[in-house]
Structure formats: C-alpha cells, structure tokens
A and B are shown apart, each in its own frame.
Chain A
Amino acid sequence: MKKWYSLLLFICLLQAQNMKLNPYSTTGHDQFSEIVFVEEGYDLLKDFDDLYIKMRLRGLPVRFWGYATEIKHEYVDATYVGSVVFSRSNHTQEAYVFDYTLTEVAYYERSFNIEGSLTLRGVIKEKKVEGQGTIDVKAKYGTKESSQTTERSAMKVTVYPGKKITLRVAGDAKVSCGFSKYYVFWICMQKGAWEAVDVVTSYFELVEEDV
C-alpha cells in the first residue's frame, strides 16, 4: 500500500512542477504597462479570443517536420510605456552616487508573449538589415531574447538624503504576432499563438521625489 502512496505522491509532485501561474500584466508583457498601436485595427495577443486562436491554429498546414507558421502582423508600429527602470531612495544622511550601467539595470529589447505550448525557436525570421540605400547599423532584430545594459550610458546618478530617484522608460516599438505549430513526423508536438515586441526607441524620464 505504501508503494501506491509513494507513486501517487511522485505523480502529484510531477504535476505540481508543471503548474505555473504567470504574474498579471496589463499587456501580456511584464516590462510594458501600456502598448498602443499607432494605427487602428490591431489587437494585442492577450485580447484574442481563445476560440479565434484555436480556429487560426486549425487552419495551419500539416508539416512533416518543423514549424508551420502564419504571421498575422509583422513589425507594426506601436508606442509603449515601460516599467520603472530603477528606483533608488536615500534614507541616510549622506548623498550617494551610483552608476547604473554597472549595476543590475538591464532591459529587454525584445519581449515575447506566448499562448499555448509553443517554445519560441526559429519561428520569427531574422529581419533583413539592409534596405534601399540605408542600413540599420544597430538593429537588434534577432531570434533570441536578449538583455543588454544600455549602451554607452555610464550614467552616474546622485541620490541626495531624503530623496528618491526614479527612472522611467517609454518609447516606440514594433509588434509582430502569429500562430505556429511544431511537427515531428506529421505529429503536432506544440502549438500556440505568439507575440513579439521589439523595442525601437527608449525615452528615459528621471524624476526625483521626497521620500
């Protein structure tokens, strides 16, 4: 009998590992508190109806191997309000300086929201960086989610006694959205809808307040 209880406990533990509750986010992306499309007619993934996602996934072709993807929209212009980049308060009697490039401050230049079982790999094509007569020298459209400290922004911020310094970020982004299924020997192993937000420009706002 003990064996059966042990087995049951083991199964319960395995199930518990699979349980996951994502934190609430107004946009579906932790780092953005607001995303607004520049033109009308687009929705964020979090506003899609489950039935609509199912229907779009059903319409994808069956493959022998690999991803079947339908892109709903690609690199659509939007503006965003980001979360607070950093906030520091000084309760001491002396001012202190910190260099935010060297501290833990980092923000994601690409954020993903995925509905379904999909693991995002090879779904989004890399953006061509060469256009007609211009180059996007520092374009960061890639297939990988990466974090980076702000380039060349060795900014020293002095926090005076009794003050709190907050750095907020907002800016322009490009939003892509689609539906994908992953097949192995014609068997669908994963499926889901995804949304990628590429940060194009980040505008910073520094606010000092009394603690």
Chain B
Amino acid sequence: MFKKIILIASFILFLTVILYGYLRRPQDIIATLIPETIQCVSKMNEDDYFSVDLYINQKHSYIAKADNIMQAYITDKQQLNTYPITVNNIIALEKVRISQQSFYRHSFLVSLRYQSYQPLKLTDAYLFIRYYDTQELNVYIGSFFVQKIPEISTNDISIHYLKGIVNPYHDKLTLVGIIMGLRNESNNDILIKNITLLDAASYIQNITPIHHIDIASQTPIIELTRKPYTIQNEKQTMDYFSLDDMPYVLLTIGYNHHVEMNEVGFRIEYSVNTKPYVYFYQPFTFYNNHQRQVFIHNLVMYTYGVR
C-alpha cells in the first residue's frame, strides 16, 4: 500500500515537473506596432525626443531592456539614409489582447540629434535596433519628420485660432481639415505665399476662406468645402492671399499614407513689402482618440526569436 502511494506521488510530481517545464519554456518574442506619424520640431541646439510604442507579447523581454541595445537608427526602407538615435528608456505599460494573445505596450523613449535646417522627411520610416546578442529588429513605424527652427521666431504674424475637422475615413478617425485664424501683428501688408504641414505623411490639398468658425469638429468636410473628398485628392495650386482679406482659412488635409495624425505643426511662407519670411508653428494636438480601432490583419507581427 505504502509503495503504491509513493509510486502515485512520484508520478504526479513527474507530471507537474514536465507541465511546469512546458509552461515555462522560452517563447518567441513577438512584437507589433501601429504605424503613426512622428513629428519633431525644435531649435537647432536642442535634441529631439519622441516615443515609439511597441506591443510585445512578454512583459520582461530581452528586447525591452534599453541596456541590451547596441545601436539604434531611424532609417528608410532601403536603409540608404540612417539617422542614429539613442533609446534612453523603455517603459512597460498596460496589457492588451490581440488575436487571443496578451501583449504589453512598451514605450521606447528615444532622442535624436539632428542639425540641419533642411527638414528630415521619411515617408516610410523604420526603427532599426541591433542588440548585443547580434539579433536585429527592423520595424515599420510610419512616417518621420524633423524640422529645426531658428532661435528667434518672426513675429509679424500669429495664429490666434486652431480647430481640427475630424471625420471617420475608412473606419479610421482622420484629421481632414484645419480651421486656422491668422493675424497680422505688424503695421505692414502681409501676403501669405504658402502654408505647409510639418509632417511627412500629410499635405495641404487646398486653402479656402471660411467665415463661420463656430463649427463642431465632427462636421463632415464636404459640408464645408462643397466638394467630394478623398484623402488622396491632388494638391491645388494656391494663390497668394492677403492676411487682412482672409483672417480665417480652412486647410483641407490629404495623406500619402492613411495614418492617424492627431497633431501637426505649420510652416508659413509670407512676405512683407516683397521681402520673404518664414514663420514656424509648433505641433498642435487637434484631437485625442481614446478608443482607436485597428484591424488585426493590418498589424505586422515581428518575431525576434527565442531568448
């Protein structure tokens, strides 16, 4: 009888060890992310800081430790242009379920030193990380834009009103228009020659005057423009306009890639007595979406391998 008990107990212990070993076996590290637009606008002597959110299937994985990173870059698809970055810290955030699997949002806090007034513009940007174990991670992060602005800003004009027109477009909330109020702060006539967005994925399709600004952000853009809208409408040629004639304008936004962009800054070219100037406006957050829906089949799963 005693022998039997010992035998059964040993068998149960054996099964437990096997089961424990099976459950604790090293798993592949799987990571994914939602491509976004990243914009950095700063003065020449300042570093640029941004974050990239990676969803990783393990809370404490090898790839989520900043000390394990040997080199990191922001690159284009062909890796013809690479910009070294520093991953300062990686913070594990909340848990989400994707395809019946648990993932942990990790925020990679990154800094970049870029020293040129020529904007850095990558329509398709990748985060490339080489770890000390010689393995690499190359993740498509969306678009990437860096603009350095002068130490002293011009003060002939100011933006005194901003509001986004945000419409669902192919089930994705999209910033399709911006109402902008411009003011002449000088005593001279100012001619606006061009307005561009400080972003690599989007562009201004058209600029039209608007007289009523008491409009809800959810208003369909076609009600304001009276024209059919697609995100890839062609860019219209813009006539120069005087600030005094058009204090409020509607900027219709187009996209090279349909990514969710909730903030953007501006570069405004203007002239005072035929002398050209450029005015920069730091990125403004037009909306925050707390219930963003992303189709699972649109997510790319990157497998790092067993650690």
Contact = CB atoms under 8 A, between A and B. Distances in A.
Interface of A: 79, 95, 109, 129-131, 133-140, 150-158, 160, 163, 170-172, 198-209
B158 A201 contact: no
Given A152-B50, A153-B263, A155-B283, 12 more contacts: A135-B293, A136-B293, A152-B51, A153-B285, A155-B284, A172-B218, A200-B291, A201-B291, A203-B163, A204-B286, A206-B163, A208-B161
Interface residues of B, number: 44
Contacts of A130: 97-98, 100
A137 to B, nearest CB: 5
B163 A129 contact: no
B289 interface: yes
Interface of B: 34, 49-51, 55, 96-98, 100, 153, 155, 158-164, 166, 173, 181, 183, 185, 216-218, 262-263, 282-297
B30 to A, nearest CB: 15
A86 to B, nearest CB: 12
A139 B295 contact: no
A160 B288 contact: no
Contacts of B216: 79, 170
B161 to A, nearest CB: 6
A139 B290 contact: yes
Contacts of A171: 217, 287
B286 A135 contact: no
B163 A155 contact: no
B-side binding surface: helix, strand, loop or mixed?
strand
A155 B164 contact: no
A201 B282 contact: no
Given A134-B295, A135-B294, A201-B173, A207 B217 contact: no
Contacts of A154: 49
Contacts of B164: 203-204
Contacts of A138: 289-292
Q: Which 3 A-B pairs have the closest CB atoms?
A: A203-B217, A208-B160, A153-B285
24 contacts: A79-B216, A95-B155, A129-B97, A133-B296, A134-B293, A134-B294, A135-B97, A138-B291, A150-B285, A151-B288, A152-B50, A154-B49, A160-B155, A163-B160, A170-B216, A170-B217, A201-B287, A201-B289, A201-B291, A202-B290, A204-B164, A204-B285, A206-B161, A208-B161
B98 A135 contact: yes
Given A201-B173, A208-B161, A136 B291 contact: yes
B288 A150 contact: yes
A131 B291 CA distance: 12
A110 to B, nearest CB: 10
A133 B155 contact: no
Contact of B296 (A134, A152, A157): A134
Nearest to B165: A203
A204 B51 CA distance: 22
A140 B95 CA distance: 11
A151 B244 CA distance: 36
A172 to B, nearest CB: 7
A109 B290 contact: yes
Contacts of B181: 208
B161 A203 contact: no
A160 B158 contact: yes
A67 B206 CA distance: 56
B290 A140 contact: yes
Contacts of B160: 163, 207-209
Contacts of B100: 130
A156 B282 CA distance: 6
A200 B289 contact: yes
Contacts of A137: 34, 55, 96, 98, 292-294
A172 B216 CA distance: 11
Given A170-B217, A203-B217, A136 B286 contact: no
B292 A136 contact: yes
A79 B216 CA distance: 10
B96 A129 contact: yes
A139 B291 contact: yes
B294 A205 contact: no
A158 B281 CA distance: 9
